[in-house]
Amino acid sequence: MLENLSPSTLPRLLRRTVLSAIAAGAVGFVIAVMIAPLAGLGVVIGVGLAIVNLRFLDSQVAKIEIRGEQNTKAVRRQLGAKTVSRLIVMTIIALGALWLDAALGIGIVAGLVIYQIVFVINVLSVVANQGDM
């Protein structure tokens, strides 16, 4: 269903996801600070990591489109290797923070989860609205 979206829909979806994640992250920050101050910092770091990951993915996809790459296996290989690398770095950051301070690490994971939940909700709303078109 997502392949039938207009080209202007994806940038709006990503922008709305980032803004919604920042708002949800702010609420998560306030709640986490009440529980453990470092957990609040972790939520901010987690949401930030997710947004940075999205920005890198967006620029990576734009570069592939500019080059006009048509071979889907080559495109998947390019996107896959860099995406896996970013996810490994994010995992190392979260595990390292968890090792240093449990509240900080759990906060980072919570921030990443907040972002993913917001992303899924935004995608579902776009897909639901697509049926109305």
Q: Is residue 36 part of a domain?
A: yes
Q: How many CB atoms lie within 10 A of CB 116?
A: 13
Calpha distance 111→50 (Å, rounded): 8
Q: Is residue 69 part of a domain?
A: yes
Q: How many CB atoms lie within 10 A of CB 37?
A: 13
Which range of residues forms the domain containing residue 85? 12-130
pTM listed for this prediction: 0.83
Q: Is residue 107 part of a domain?
A: yes
Q: pLDDT tens digits for 78-123?
A: 778 888 999 999 999 999 999 999 999 999 999 999 999 999 999 8
Domain count, the chain: 1
Q: pLDDT tens digits for 20-66?
A: 999 999 999 999 999 999 999 999 999 999 999 988 888 887 776 55
Q: pLDDT tens digits for 67-80?
A: 555 567 777 777 78
CB 43 within 8 A of CB 87: no
